[in-house]
Amino acid sequence: MTQIPIEVSNFFLAMQAGQPGAKALEGHFTDDAVYVEPFTGETRRHEGRAAIMKAMALGWEMPMVETRIEVLGAKLEGDVVQVQWACHSPSIPGGRGSGTNRFTLRGGKIAELVTTLDGGPA
């Protein structure tokens, strides 16, 4: 498997920590970052660090228990890192969801994050 950049590894660690990792998670994004995600059932776009953190905080309102994120594969092309992942938690129907995160890095931070799901909840 391709080695993923430390910025992406640290993002997954902070995200997996939930609310306690919020400050660290926020620090991984540029001020003008963009986050595109499908977690409410429709694709939503969040612009700016504050909007991204507000979107992330929605997930902390109903935290998933015993959550573990598994990186299944990664592909690097310049400043773009594409990571296939699986999320394991008894809070997810079937206990598992999966998808892809496409990170665009700038200056050691995430400038854009686009998340897609493989199907079913993640």
Q: Which long-range contacts (CB under 8 A, 24 or more apart) does 52-60 make?
A: 52/26, 52/113, 53/22, 53/25, 53/26, 56/15, 56/22, 56/25, 57/19, 57/22, 59/18, 60/18, 60/19, 60/22
CATH 3.40.30.10 fits 6-117, yes or no: no
With 0.75 as the threshold, say if the pTM is over it. Answer: yes
Q: What sign does the CA torsion over 36, 30, 80, 67 have?
A: negative
Domain boundaries, the chain: 6-117
Q: Give the pLDDT confidence score for residue 41 in this predicted structure.
A: 85
Per-residue pLDDT tens listing for the chain (122 residues): 578 899 999 999 998 888 899 999 999 999 999 999 998 889 999 999 999 999 998 877 776 678 888 999 999 999 999 999 998 888 788 889 899 999 999 999 999 999 999 974 43
Q: Give the pLDDT confidence score for residue 29 in this predicted structure.
A: 98
Q: Give the pLDDT confidence score for residue 63 in this predicted structure.
A: 65
